[in-house]
C-alpha cells in the first residue's frame, strides 16, 4: 500500500486541487467583500488587494471546474450535470451553488469595478454600460447574496466528502466546517499574496485588516483540526483506526505534522503574531506567510482526500 | 447604508417566503398513496454450498459483456482454515447488495444511479452517467466500477437488462453447479428465496450503516472464528 495508490482509492489528487481552488475562490471573494465593506468603501476598486481577489476568484473557480470536468470519465457529457438535478445529492446541490456563485461573482465584479470599466469603455457598447449601471445600483443585494454563496461554496466541498458514509474519516460532521475555515484562510492568503505582488502596500490597511482576522481564524482552524481527530479517536472502532492511520507514522503522517500543522498553521500563526508586535510589515514577510498558508491548505486537502479513502468501515 | 441593509433583508425575506410556499406545495396529498409494487428481488449466497469455482463470474461476464479487468461479481476466498487433511476455505460473494437505502443512488448528481420502482433493483441509466465516480466512492461495499468500454459506472443489476428481460434467472444463479445462489421475490412467501431465508440463518454486510442490503449470506460453518 503506497501513499498515492491503494485499494479503494477512487478520487485522486485532481479532486484535491479542485477542493483547494473552490475554497480559495470563495475565501478570496469573502475577504474582498469584507475589505470593501469595512475599510475601503467606494475606493475599493483602487486597492491592489481587491483587484488581486477580483482576478484570483474567477480564475480559481473556473480552473477548478475545468479540472473537475477533465477528471470525469465522460468529460463531453458534463452538461448533463447542469441539466439533471437530484435534490438528495450533495454534488448536485453544489453544482447549483457553483452556477449561481459564478453569476453573482461576475455581477459583483461588474458592480464594484463599474466606474473604471465605464471609464475605459467611454461611450462604446452602450448596452454593457447600462448593465454595469444596473449592477452598481443593486450592489448591496448582490453583495449579500454573494457572501452567502461564498460561505456555501466553502462548506460545500466539505459536505461533498462527508456524504461518503463508507469512510469514517470523511463521514465526519466537523469536516465541512474545517474545509470552510481553511478555505477562507487560503482565500485570505491568496488575496494578500496577489495584492503585494501587484505592488500593494504590505503595511496598508488591507493587510492589517486581514491579518487581524487571520490570527483568530488560524486558532479556530487548529481547534477544528483537534476536534476532528479527537472526535474520530474517541468514537473508537474504524474511526479510531482511520484517525491513527492518518496522523500516525508514514508518509501522510509526515505531511500532516510537518506540512499541515507546521508549515500551514504554526509558522503563519507565529509570523502573524510577530508582525502584529513589530507593527511594520514588509513585502517578504507578507508574501512568505501567505505562501505558507496556501501550501498548508493545499496539503490539507490532499491529506484528507487520500487518508480519508484509506480506511473503510 | 441603512436603506441598502433594509433592501437586502427584504430580499432575503422574500426568498425565504418563496421557499416555504414552494415546500408547502410540494408536500404530498394524503390520499395519493402510490400503488406499491408486488415485486422486490433479493439474493441469498449460501457460503456452505459455494465451492469457489467462479462459474458465476464467468457466466456474468459472458451474458452481460463485462470486459476483462473488471467484474460485477467476485467470489472472495479466505483460508485455509484447520490442519491438513481437515482443511477448509471460506467463500464470500462480493457484488451489488441492491440496498433499499442505496448510498450510490442518494449521491448521484444526475439520477443515473436509481432504484427501479418495479423490482427494487439498483440500476444504472447509462445515458445519464457522466462518470464523476461519486457513486463508486459512496458505496460502502466498494462494488461499483467504471466500465472501460462504456466509461460509465457499472455493477450487478441482477441481469435486469439481459436474463430477467427474457424471463430467465440471473446468469450467476443458472451457472452455479451447487445451487449456492437463490434468487427471487422477497414479497412472495412461496418463493424459494423466502423459504431459504426462513429456514437458514443469514447475515448481511454492514447493516449498521442503514443501507438495508438485499444480498443475504449464509455463513460458513467451517472457517475461522474472528473477533
pLDDT in tens, A3-47: 899 888 999 999 999 999 999 999 999 999 999 999 988 888 999
Distances (CA, A) of A119 to A116, A210, A277, A313, B130: 5, 30, 42, 60, 44
pLDDT (average), residues B79-89: 86
Mean pLDDT of chain A: 94
> Which of A18, A73, A170 should one mutate to test binding to chain B, selecting the residue with the greatest count of B CBs within 10 A?
A73
The residue to which cell 509570523 is assigned = A271
CB-CB: which of B128, B131, B136 is closest to A72? B131
pLDDT (average), residues B84-107: 94
- Which residues, 6 or more positions from A120, have their beta carbon under 8 angstroms from its beta carbon? none
In Å, how far is A71's CA from the nearest CA of chain B?
Answer: 8
In Å, how far is A263's CA from the nearest CA of chain B?
Answer: 30
Note which residues in 227-266 of chain A have CB less than 8 A from chain B.
none
- Which residues, 6 or more positions from A183, have their beta carbon under 8 angstroms from its beta carbon? A22, A23, A24, A26, A27, A154, A157, A297
> Of A204-213, A301-310, B174-183, where does mean pLDDT reach its minimum?
A204-213
Provide the grid cell at A23. 475554497
Q: Are B164 and B104 in contact (CB under 8 A)?
A: no
The residue to which cell 488587494 is assigned = A49
Quick one: how far is CA B55 from the chain centroid?
Answer: 21
Q: Is the Cβ pair B146, A91 closer than 8 Å?
A: no
In Å, how far is B174's CA from the nearest CA of chain A?
Answer: 30
Contacts of A140 in chain B (CB under 8 A): 4-5, 7-8
| pLDDT value of residue B8 | 76
Contacts of A136 in chain B (CB under 8 A): none
Query: Measured between CB atoms, does A166 come within 8 Å of chain B?
Result: yes
Provide the H-helix boundaries in chain A. Answer: 13-35, 48-71, 79-83, 90-112, 114-121, 126-137, 139-162, 175-197, 205-235, 237-247, 251-254, 267-278, 283-310
Q: Is the Cβ pair B131, A140 closer than 8 Å?
A: no
What's chain A's length in residues?
Answer: 313
Q: Is the pLDDT of residue B32 over 70?
A: no
pLDDT (average), residues A266-279: 87
Q: Is the Cβ pair B137, A164 closer than 8 Å?
A: yes
Q: Is the pLDDT of residue B10 over 90?
A: no
> Which of B132, B142, B213 should one mutate to test binding to chain A, selecting the residue with the greatest count of A CBs within 10 A?
B132
Q: Is the pLDDT of residue A164 over 60?
A: yes
Alpha-carbon span A234 to A226, nearest angstrom:
12
pTM for the full predicted model? 0.91
| pLDDT value of residue A140 | 94
Query: Measured between CB atoms, does A41 come within 8 Å of chain B?
Result: no
pLDDT (average), residues B144-157: 96
| pLDDT value of residue B15 | 77
Q: Give the three-state DSSP class for A122.
A: coil
The residue to which cell 428481460 is assigned = B165
> Which of A9, A18, A74 should one mutate to test binding to chain B, selecting the residue with the greatest count of B CBs within 10 A?
A74
Locate the chain A residue with the closest alpha carbon to B133.
A10
Query: Measured between CB atoms, does A309 come within 8 Å of chain B?
Result: yes
Locate the chain A residue with the closest alpha carbon to B137.
A10
Residues of B with CB under 8 A from a CB of A: 4-5, 7-8, 11-12, 103, 106-111, 128-134, 136-142, 146, 151-152, 206, 209
In Å, how far is A279's CA from the nearest CA of chain B?
Answer: 32
CB-CB: which of A72, A90, A309 is closest to B107? A90
For A49-95, the pLDDT digits (tens) are: 999 999 999 999 999 999 999 999 999 999 999 999 999 999 999 99
pLDDT (average), residues B149-164: 95
Confidence class for position A310, pLDDT limits 50, 70, 90: very high
Q: Is the Cβ pair A11, B137 closer than 8 Å?
A: yes
Query: Dihedrals φ, ψ of B107, to 5°?
Result: -90, -20
Confidence class for position B221, pLDDT limits 50, 70, 90: confident
In Å, how far is A226's CA from the nearest CA of chain B?
Answer: 26
Query: Measured between CB atoms, does A8 come within 8 Å of chain B?
Result: yes
Query: Measured between CB atoms, does A10 come within 8 Å of chain B?
Result: yes
| pLDDT value of residue B182 | 97
Q: Is the Cβ pair B152, A73 closer than 8 Å?
A: yes
Distances (CA, A) of B204 to A8, A173, B54, B94: 21, 27, 21, 12
Q: Is the pLDDT of residue B108 over 60?
A: yes
Alpha-carbon span B72 to B64, nearest angstrom:
9
Q: Is the pLDDT of residue B18 over 90?
A: no
Amino acid at each position: 500500500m503506497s501513499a498515492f495508490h491503494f485499494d479503494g482509492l477512487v478520487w485522486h489528487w485532481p479532486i484535491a486541487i479542485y477542493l483547494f481552488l473552490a475554497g480559495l475562490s470563495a475565501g478570496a471573494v469573502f475577504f474582498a467583500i469584507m475589505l470593501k465593506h469595512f475599510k475601503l468603501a467606494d475606493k475599493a476598486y483602487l486597492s491592489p488587494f481587491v483587484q488581486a481577489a477580483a482576478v484570483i476568484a474567477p480564475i480559481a473557480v473556473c480552473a477548478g471546474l475545468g479540472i473537475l470536468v477533465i477528471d470525469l470519465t465522460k468529460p463531453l457529457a458534463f452538461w448533463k450535470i447542469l441539466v439533471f438535478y437530484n435534490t438528495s445529492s450533495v454534488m448536485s446541490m453544489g453544482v447549483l451553488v457553483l452556477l449561481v456563485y459564478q453569476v453573482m461573482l461576475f455581477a459583483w465584479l461588474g458592480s464594484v469595478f463599474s466606474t473604471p470599466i465605464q471609464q475605459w469603455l467611454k461611450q462604446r457598447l452602450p448596452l454593457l454600460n447600462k448593465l454595469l449601471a444596473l449592477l452598481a445600483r443593486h450592489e448591496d443585494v448582490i453583495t449579500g447574496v454573494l457572501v452567502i454563496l461564498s460561505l456555501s461554496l466553502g462548506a460545500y466541498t466539505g459536505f461533498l466528502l462527508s456524504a461518503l458514509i463508507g469512510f469514517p474519516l470523511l463521514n465526519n460532521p466537523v469536516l465541512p466546517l474545517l474545509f470552510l475555515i481553511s478555505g477562507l484562510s487560503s482565500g485570505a492568503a491568496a488575496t494578500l499574496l496577489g495584492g503585494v505582488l501587484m505592488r500593494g502596500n504590505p503595511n496598508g490597511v488591507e493587510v492589517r485588516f486581514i491579518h487581524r482576522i487571520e490570527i483568530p481564524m488560524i486558532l479556530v482552524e487548529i481547534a477544528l483540526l483537534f476536534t476532528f481527530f479527537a472526535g474520530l479517536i474517541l468514537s473508537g472502532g474504524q474511526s479510531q483506526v482511520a484517525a491513527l492511520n492518518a496522523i500516525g507514522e508514514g508518509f501522510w503522517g509526515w505531511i500532516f505534522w510537518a506540512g499541515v500543522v507546521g508549515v500551514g498553521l504554526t509558522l503563519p500563526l507565529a509570523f502573524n503574531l510577530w508582525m502584529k508586535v513589530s507593527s511594520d510589515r514588509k513585502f517578504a514577510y507578507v508574501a512568505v506567510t501567505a505562501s505558507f498558508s496556501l501550501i498548508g491548505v493545499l496539503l490539507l486537502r490532499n491529506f484528507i482526500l487520500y487518508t480519508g479513502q484509506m480506511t473503510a468501515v | 447604508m441603512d436603506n441598502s441593509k433594509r433592501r437586502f433583508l427584504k430580499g432575503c425575506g422574500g426568498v425565504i417566503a418563496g421557499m416555504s410556499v414552494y415546500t408547502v406545495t410540494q408536500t404530498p396529498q394524503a390520499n395519493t398513496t402510490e400503488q406499491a409494487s408486488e415485486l422486490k428481488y433479493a439474493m441469498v449466497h449460501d457460503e456452505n454450498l459455494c465451492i469457489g469455482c467462479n462459474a458465476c463470474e464467468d457466466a456474468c461476464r459472458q451474458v452481460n459483456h463485462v470486459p476483462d479487468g473488471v467484474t460485477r461479481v467476485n467470489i472472495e476466498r479466505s483460508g485455509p482454515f484447520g490442519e491438513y487433511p481437515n482443511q477448509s476455505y471460506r467463500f464470500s460473494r462480493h457484488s451489488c447488495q441492491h440496498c433499499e437505502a442505496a448510498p450510490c443512488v442518494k449521491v448521484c448528481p444526475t439520477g443515473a444511479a436509481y432504484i427501479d420502482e418495479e423490482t427494487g433493483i439498483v440500476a444504472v441509466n447509462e445515458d445519464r452517467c457522466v462518470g464523476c465516480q461519486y457513486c463508486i466512492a459512496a458505496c460502502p461495499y466498494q462494488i461499483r466500477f467504471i466500465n472501460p468500454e462504456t466509461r460509465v459506472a457499472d455493477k450487478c443489476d441482477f441481469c435486469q437488462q439481459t436474463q430477467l428481460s427474457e424471463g430467465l434467472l440471473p446468469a450467476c444463479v443458472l451457472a452455479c453447479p451447487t445451487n449456492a445462489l437463490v434468487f427471487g421475490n422477497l414479497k412472495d412467501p412461496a418463493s424459494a428465496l423466502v423459504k431459504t431465508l426462513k429456514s437458514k440463518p443469514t447475515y448481511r454486510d454492514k447493516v449498521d450503516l442503514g443501507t438495508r442490503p438485499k444480498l443475504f449470506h449464509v455463513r460458513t460453518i467451517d472457517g475461522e472464528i474472528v473477533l
